[in-house]
Amino acid sequence: MTRELSRGQQVVYEEKMLTLPITEVPKDPNRSTQNAVSPFRYPGGKGFLSAFLKRRMSLLDTSAERVFAEPFCGGAGAALILLADGDADVVRLNDADLRIFSAWQAILDEPERFVAKLREVRLDMPEWYHHRDLVAGFSDREYDFDIGFSTFYMNRTTRSGIILNAGPIGGYDQRGKWKLNARFNVERLANQVLWLAANRARIELSNMDALSFIDRGRRRADSGNTMFFIDPPYVKAGGRLYFDGMSEAKHVALSDILTSGSVKYWVLTYDDAPLVRQLYKSQNCSTISVNYSLQSKRRESEILVEPNYR
C-alpha cells in the first residue's frame, strides 16, 4: 500500500482520499477531565466519546445484561464512564501489555495495598528513576503488584502519561512550572481506586491479544448484547506512545473479523490512514468532530468506523 510508493507518489495518493461524512460527537454534560472515572491518563484516551457511545449502547437490550467490551483498553476512559453512569452493566477490559494489565489488576484486586502505596510514595526524582527502571527492565510473564504500581506512577508523572520514553513532568531538573506532583492528586486517585474496587463485580479484566479477546467475545452467550469499542494503536503513529502489538497483518486480521458480520455491535476508531480506509471501505466510515458549546472541533486525523446497522 502506501509504504510501497515513492514519497512523491504517496502525496498524490493521499490527496485523492475522499472527504468522509462527519459524525458530530456531543459533549457529555456530566463528564469532563475534572470528574473522570478512570485513574489513568492516556495519550489519545477516548473518554471524550462517552456521550456518543452512550447513544450506541441504547441499541442493546435493557432487559438483559448490557456488556461494553474494550479489547485495547489502555486507560478505559470511556468504558468506566459508561459503567458509572449506568449505560453498561458490565465492562470487559483487555490489554495485551502486561504492565498496563498489572496496574489494573493491582487496583482491582489489591485496592487497599494500592491506596496505601499512593499515600506513602514520594514524588521526587530518585523515586521517579526507581519506578522508571522497574518498568523499563520489566520482563516477567505474569502479574506483579509492584510493576503495576510503578506503571501507574509513571503514567501519572511523565509528560503526556506515556509510561516509557518520556521525561518527567517539570523536567529532569524539576525546574518547570509544573512539578512531578502536578497530576498526582493522592486523595482523588485513592477515591477513584476505591470506586473501582467497590464496582469490582461489574469489571472483568484480561491480558490477551485483542484478536483472541474479540474472537472469544463473539462466541459467548451474551455476544448479542455486547458492544465492542475498539481503539487499536494507530497504523501510522503506532508504537511511539504505548506498547504496539499490531503488525500490518494483524490490522488486516482485525478487519476480517469485524467485516465478517460475526460481531454484532461495534465501534472502531483509527487514524485516517489509506490502509484503514481500504480495509473498511464497505463499512460506515466518518470523520469525528467533537462538538463543544462554542465551536466544533474536527479531529481530522481520526476516523470512526461502524457496521451498516439496519
Ligand X SMILES: C[S@@+](CC[C@H](N)C(=O)[O-])C[C@H]1O[C@@H](n2cnc3c(N)ncnc32)[C@H](O)[C@@H]1O
Sequence-ordered strand ranges (E) for the chain: 22-26, 67-70, 90-94, 203-206, 226-230, 265-271, 284-291, 296-306
Please name the residue that has the C-alpha cell 497504523: 235
For the chain, how many helices (H) and strands (E)?
11, 8
Residue with Cβ nearer ligand X (83 or 246): 246
Phi and psi at 300, nearest 5°, equal -55, -30
Residue with Cβ nearer ligand X (90 or 162): 162
**String of b and e for 1-11 (b: at least 16 CB within 10 Å)?**
eeeeeeeeeee
Helix/strand/coil for 227: strand
Residue with Cβ nearer ligand X (247 or 282): 247
CB of 27 to ligand X, least distance (A): 16
Residue with Cβ nearer ligand X (123 or 288): 288
Residue number of the CB atom closest to ligand X: 74
Q: How far apart are CA 35 and CA 210, in angstroms?
A: 28
CB of 166 closer than 8 Å to CB of 95: no
Cell of 247: 503488525
Residue with Cβ nearer ligand X (76 or 83): 76
Tell which residue, 269, 49, 36, has the closest CA to residue 156.
Answer: 36
Tell which residue, 226, 222, 200, has the closest CA to residue 70.
Answer: 226
CB of 47 to ligand X, least distance (A): 6
CB of 233 to ligand X, least distance (A): 5
CA-to-CA separations, 151 to 72, 98, 114, in angstroms, rounded: 17, 10, 12
Residue with Cβ nearer ligand X (5 or 90): 90
Residue with Cβ nearer ligand X (220 or 240): 240
Residue with Cβ nearer ligand X (151 or 170): 151
CB of 119 closer than 8 Å to CB of 186: yes
**String of b and e for 250-275 (b: at least 16 CB within 10 Å)?**
bbeebbebbbeeebbbbbbbbbbbbb
Amino acid making up residue 244: D
Residues in touch with ligand X (CB under 6 A): 42, 44-46, 71-78, 95-97, 100, 209-210, 231, 233, 242-246
